[in-house]
């Protein structure tokens, strides 16, 4: 995660107000939804150990857990505006994203290796049964995403498609593309930043 990784070595100055970290997270999410990168960095500093613990429990692989943890904060940056305090706590929302990303990586790993890894039955999973209106909304979202992807530079689009649709890790991407790991992460960062700007603004890409 671009901003997150850069911030982890410095102290984030917490806002005045709630004393416990979890009590500050809704405010961080609201600020991140407005494009405040320092809020995302503060959220990462305070919550990443919790997220990493959940991800590691599912994946049982330190390298995968580290990459997925960064992916979670990329997703938080893209979808912070989707969080609503009326639907539950910020902690629950963040951990839901963490479980979802970790399970996606686990299933991708199983497809590549042909192995079946048992999933902890104690992990709460959302129902996969989508209602017709949800399917219609998903179809529209996919269309918008496809159009937005078409506006990216070729190398950014290729990296994002291989990572998020092909299920490749960052290290696998670097090997496949013959590029340094840092270059691959930068391409994904720049591409995801532009995608978020387009999709959040609701622009019609032609």
195 in Cβ contact with 188 (< 8 Å)? no
| Dist. CA 161–CA 93, nearest whole Å | 25
What pLDDT score was predicted for residue 97? 93
pLDDT in tens, 142-192: 666 677 777 778 888 888 777 766 667 778 788 888 888 888 888 888 877
Q: Is 126 part of a structural domain of the chain?
A: no
Once rounded to an integer, what is the mean pLDDT over residues 33-49? Answer: 90
- Is residue 121 scored above 70 in pLDDT? no
What pLDDT score was predicted for residue 80? 94
What pLDDT score was predicted for residue 181? 83
Q: Is 111 part of a structural domain of the chain?
A: yes
> What's this model's pTM, rounded to 2 decimal places?
0.51
Which CATH number is 180's domain given? 1.10.10.10
Give Cβ neighbours of residue 198 (< 8 Å, ≥ 6 apart): 148, 151, 205
Same domain, 21 and 108: yes
Q: Residue 110 CB: number of other CB atoms within 10 A? A: 13
Q: How big is the chain by its Cα radius of gyration, in Å?
A: 17
Tell me the angle at which helices 170-177 and 181-201 cross, rounded to the nearest 10 degrees: 110
2 in Cβ contact with 40 (< 8 Å)? no
- Is residue 42 scored above 50 in pLDDT? yes
**Among 154, 152, 156, which residue's Cα sits nearest to residue 205?**
152
Give Cβ neighbours of residue 101 (< 8 Å, ≥ 6 apart): 55, 68, 71, 72, 75
Domain boundary among 56, 88, 119: 119
- Is residue 137 scored above 90 in pLDDT? no
Q: Is 3 part of a structural domain of the chain?
A: yes
Choose between 111 and 16: higher pLDDT.
111
Domain boundary among 95, 119, 143: 119
Same domain, 115 and 137: no
- The boundaries of the domain holding residue 21 are 1-119
Most confident of 90-104, 132-146, 151-165: 90-104
Same domain, 157 and 94: no
Element at 100 (helix H, strand E): helix 90-113
């Amino acid at each position: 995660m671009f901003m997150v990784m850069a911030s982890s070595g410095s102290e984030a100055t917490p806002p005045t107000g709630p004393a416990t970290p979890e009590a500050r997270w809704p405010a961080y999410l609201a600020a991140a939804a407005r494009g405040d990168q320092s809020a995302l960095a503060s959220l990462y500093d305070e919550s990443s150990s919790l997220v990493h613990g959940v991800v590691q429990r599912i994946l049982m692989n330190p390298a995968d857990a580290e990459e997925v943890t960064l992916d979670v904060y990329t997703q938080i940056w893209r979808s912070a505006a989707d969080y609503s305090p009326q639907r539950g706590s910020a902690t629950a929302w963040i951990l839901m994203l963490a479980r979802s990303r970790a399970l996606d990586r686990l299933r991708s790993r199983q497809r590549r290796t042909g192995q079946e890894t048992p999933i902890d039955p104690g992990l709460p999973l959302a129902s996969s049964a989508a209602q017709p209106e949800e399917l219609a909304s998903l179809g529209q979202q996919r269309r918008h995403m496809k159009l937005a992807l078409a506006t990216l530079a070729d190398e950014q689009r290729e990296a994002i498609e291989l990572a998020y649709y092909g299920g490749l890790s960052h290290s696998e991407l670097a090997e496949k593309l013959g590029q340094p790991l840092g270059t691959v992460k930068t391409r994904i960062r720049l591409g995801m930043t532009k995608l978020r700007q387009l999709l959040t603004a609701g622009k019609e890409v032609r």
